[in-house]
Amino acid sequence: MVSLHAELSCLQVSQLEVPPLQRSGEHHHGDQASGGLALAVASMASRHDMATPQYDLAGEVQTQAALVHQLEAELEGHPAHRWGERKQLKKHRRRMEELAAEIEERQRLLHFRANRHWDTFLALIDVLRHFGALAGDDGLDPTEVGRTVAALRGDNELWLGLALMSGHLDALAPAELAAVLEAVSTEVNRPDLWCAWSPPPAVEEAMHDLRSLRRQLGRQQELARVVFPIWWEPELTGLVHAWARGASWSEVIANTSLDEGDVVRVLRRTVDLLAQIPYAEAVSQQLRDKARRALAAINRFPVCELEDLVPAAPAGDDRQDLPDPPAFASPHSDLVS
């Protein structure tokens, strides 16, 4: 042992008697002198590595052994050892992962709610640029197409403006124009919807031409992750066409499953869009004139507003000729002296 470990060379072992051992593995009780020597060896072992022989070892091996001891000491001092058994440690680790996932989800939701409108605004700019509504060096200057779209009011002004500026509606008659505009501007969410009048051939052809434009707009909105309705309701085009050509109100109601209030709502949405077309910049003059005639054809009772039925009073005449109230006897006339 002394030859293997130089640290033991300072121990005095000459005064110790060799115990009479007869076979391998035999134990012999020591005395006070051997006990003191054992304590001295233990003290040296706590200060020096006596598990690895130090003779004839390369410097790299000794360096690696020192590194291993250092890493073992760091592992023993790791905070994970404070949790005790492994099951408890796994439980805390699983809880930490759940909390991290919850924090990430809440942060994502907070970012979405805080920036949703701004992100939608930027996405709409990209869609408008794609269809030529915005141009310029910074891409924010409205073009003629953009000014036309801005002049319209509806659930999806870009879809309405593209349909009006496509040229597919210029050759339609006023009644057919009103029918197509009803299909692209109104939603009728009724599962039992039916109409006895079928769409006119010219209306079906115009709707077929607009289908590719609608598909392209829907694809761009999907890529930009914006949701704006692109209405497509051709079921009532025959009804609007018949009303614009002079059909009576009772005849219109008798040939559809909608009640009178729904029919009025559909026709007024069409009237509202027709009234905007003359003010659209990029719309052809031919389409503007037909929109005026179509508006005059369908804006009649009971679709028109009340002020459209009452003639306006002459300018400067504030006097109103009202009939005298009818005479009647008060139930308390006998109390009046």
Which structural domain, as residue segments, surrounds residue 178? 147-306
Q: Do you find a cis peptide bond into 323, omega within 30 degrees of 0? A: no
Q: 180 and 300: one domain?
A: yes
Instruction: Enter the pTM of the model.
Output: 0.62
- Report yes or no on 6 lying in a domain: yes
CATH code for the domain in which residue 291 is found: 1.10.3380.30
In a domain, 87, yes or no: yes
How many domains is the chain partitioned into structurally? 3
Q: Per residue of the chain (337 residues), give pLDDT as tens.
A: 444 455 566 667 777 777 777 777 777 777 877 777 778 777 777 776 666 665 555 677 778 888 998 988 888 787 766 666 778 778 888 999 999 999 999 988 888 787 888 888 899 999 999 999 999 888 899 999 999 999 999 999 999 999 999 999 999 999 999 999 999 999 888 888 889 999 999 999 999 999 999 999 999 999 999 999 999 999 999 999 999 999 999 999 999 999 999 999 999 999 999 999 999 999 999 999 999 999 999 999 999 876 665 554 454 444 444 444 444 344 444 444 3
**Same domain as 95, residue 179:** no
Q: For residues 254 and 200, is the Cβ–Cβ distance under 8 A?
A: no
Is the residue at 164 inside a domain?
yes
What lies within 8 Å, CB to CB, of 146 at 6+ separation is 128, 132, 133, 134
C-alpha dihedral, 133 to 139 to 143 to 149, nearest 10°? 30
* Whether residue 89 is found in the same domain as residue 211: no
For the CA atoms of 227, 188, 169, 295, the dihedral, rounded to the nearest 10 degrees, stands at: -120
Residues 210 and 234 in one domain: yes
Specify if 103 maps to a domain. Answer: yes
Any domain includes 331? no
Question: In sequence order, what are the residues at sequence separation of 6 or more whose Cβ sits closer than 8 angstroms to the Cβ of residue 41?
Answer: 8, 11
Same domain for 84 and 155, yes or no, is: no
pLDDT of residue 323: 47
With beta carbons less than 8 A apart as the criterion, state whether 176 and 202 touch: yes
Q: Phi and psi of 80, rounded to 5°?
A: -65, -25
pLDDT in the model for residue 83: 66
- Domain assignment present for residue 167? The answer is yes
Beta strands in the chain, from DSSP E residues, in sequence order: 134-135, 141-142
Is 272 inside any structural domain?
A: yes
Residues 100 and 180 in one domain: no
Question: How does DSSP assign 177-222, residue by residue?
Answer: HHHHHHHHH-----TT--BSSPPPHHHHHHHHHHHHHHHHHHHHHH
Closest CA to 38 of 75, 1, 67: 1
Within this chain, do residues 252 and 182 fall inside the same structural domain, yes or no?
Answer: yes
Q: Are residues 301 and 163 in the same domain?
A: yes
Q: Which pLDDT score is estimated for 37?
A: 78
> What is the predicted pLDDT for the residue at 329?
40
58 with 5, same domain: the answer is: yes
- Answer yes or no: do 84 and 69 share one domain: no
b/e sequence 61-83, b meaning 16+ C-beta within 10 Å: eeeeeeeeeeeeeeeeeeeeeee
Pairwise CA distance, residues 62 & 293, whole Å: 102
* Residues 188 and 70 both lie in one domain: no
Identify whether residues 211 and 248 lie together within a single domain: yes
3-state secondary structure of 54: coil
SS3 233: coil
